[in-house]
């Protein structure tokens, strides 16, 4: 290994910064390694021993000014030091939160709302039952909502998944609104072209601000 020379690859035009929780692998007594990826090629660019602001700053300082100024885009999670470092050392880059972490944050906040509403319900209430037993209808992809109706002992009638989802949304309007917003953004994120995303950006911001 001592005879291997690894070439110093130039920074990609689209840089992704993320982390990997691995205290056993880090040589800096850090809980997280920092992962640098080439977003366009979808491949690993480098792994750093720490995700700290100082360590990441030193990494970018080691790159030439030309390399750093050629970076056009940086994707990060919502950890503030990543944003600060990107803005300081990659001045020409547009910094954006990557889609995975936006969806993760959105779904986590939605789940917190569901749990909060459920805790406000009496234990033996229909609302508690719906949010406890059927909460997966709000979060799972690819569900066939129009399955054959089956007798529900709680409500003493035949219901399918769509009926139960509608009951949740009708019982908890604020959760229903949040569900529609969440699903709208997820569909847009999954299917929109770049041009469509740019066109709909203002609409998305307006919808969330007015919710």
Cβ atoms of 20 and 10 within 8 Å: the answer is no
Shared-domain flag, residues 109 and 192:
yes
Per-residue pLDDT of the chain (211 residues; tens, 9 = 90+): 455 555 678 999 999 999 988 767 656 666 889 999 999 999 999 999 889 999 999 999 999 999 999 999 999 998 999 999 999 999 999 999 998 999 999 999 999 999 999 999 999 999 999 999 999 999 988 889 999 999 999 999 999 999 999 999 999 999 999 999 999 999 999 999 989 988 998 999 999 999 8
What lies within 8 Å, CB to CB, of 157 at 6+ separation is 151
3-class secondary-structure state, position 27: coil
3-class secondary-structure state, position 145: coil
Instruction: Please give the Cα distance from 211 to 209 (Å, whole number).
Output: 6
Q: Token pair for residue 138?
A: 């709000």
Query: Domain limits at 43?
Result: 14-97
Shared-domain flag, residues 84 and 169:
no
Shared-domain flag, residues 155 and 175:
yes
Shared-domain flag, residues 135 and 155:
yes
pLDDT at 9: 87
Cβ atoms of 76 and 95 within 8 Å: the answer is yes
End of a domain among 63, 97, 131?
97
End of a domain among 82, 97, 112?
97
Shared-domain flag, residues 148 and 177:
yes
Shared-domain flag, residues 205 and 104:
yes
In a domain, 143, yes or no: yes
- Give the chain's domain count: 2
pLDDT at 108: 96
């Amino acid at each position: 290994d001592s005879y291997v020379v690894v070439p110093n690859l130039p920074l990609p035009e689209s840089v992704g910064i993320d982390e990997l929780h691995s205290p056993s692998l880090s040589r800096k007594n850090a809980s997280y390694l920092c992962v640098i990826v080439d977003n366009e090629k979808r491949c690993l660019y480098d792994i750093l021993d720490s995700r700290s602001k100082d360590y990441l700053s030193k990494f970018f300082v080691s790159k030439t000014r030309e390399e750093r100024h050629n970076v056009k885009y940086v994707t990060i999670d919502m950890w503030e030091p990543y944003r600060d470092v990107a803005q300081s050392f990659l001045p020409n880059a547009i910094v954006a939160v990557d889609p995975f972490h936006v969806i993760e944050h959105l779904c986590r906040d939605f789940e917190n709302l569901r749990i909060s509403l459920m805790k406000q319900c009496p234990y033996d209430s229909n609302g508690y039952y719906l949010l406890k037993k059927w909460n997966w209808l709000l979060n799972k992809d690819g569900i066939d909502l129009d399955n054959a109706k089956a007798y529900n002992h709680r409500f003493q009638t035949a219901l399918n998944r769509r009926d139960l989802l509608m009951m949740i949304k009708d019982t908890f309007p604020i959760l229903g609104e949040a569900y529609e917003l969440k699903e709208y953004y997820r569909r847009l994120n999954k299917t929109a072209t770049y041009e469509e995303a740019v066109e709909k950006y203002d609409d998305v911001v307006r919808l969330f601000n007015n919710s």
